[in-house]
Amino acid sequence: MDLILIDGDQVNFLPAFGNAVVSVQPGKITASGKTTINGKKVCIEGDESKVEVKNCSYVAPPFVIPGLGTLTIKALGPDQLTTKSKSGNKGIIVKGSVFIAEFKVTSPAKQPPPANSPDPLPMYPGQGELVPSNVKIKAT
């Protein structure tokens, strides 16, 4: 049993993305479930794929002149989706432990002059946590 996520709940990304350190900002998850808790829809399987936090700065040594990118949820953890409880035939998203996050580079970090070369990596893997505002209703 774990706490159910509802519309507008916070998504926290951890700052370490492999070799990159991201100035993370929290995201919000938009729910599309048919079921409601306190008048707000529950988050269901697939809602996590719509979470995006744009324009986060990052550095990835030796690229220490900050670049920009977008944080997304790549996949929920195995304990973040209900197996028994459903909303409209889809699993309900619960707090769980951690999800797999992705940082997609939109403007690469650079090395300082004279090298001035850009970071060649297009993305970095990371993790994050879901923060439910609902503190009572749980599901499995």
Percent of the chain with pLDDT over 90: 99
Residue 30, domain extent? 2-139
- The pTM assigned to this predicted structure is 0.95
Give the closest residue to 23 by CA, choosing from 78, 85, 93, 70: 70
Looking at the DSSP assignment, which residues form a beta bridge with residue 123?
104
Determine contact, residues 70/50, Cβ cutoff 8 Å.
no
* Residue-wise pLDDT tens digits, 46-88: 999 999 999 999 999 999 999 999 999 999 999 999 999 999 9
Tokens of 135: 């503190």
Average pLDDT, rounded, for the chain: 97
Q: Are strands 40-41 and 16-17 parallel, antiparallel or unpaired?
A: unpaired
The number of distinct structural domains making up the chain is 1
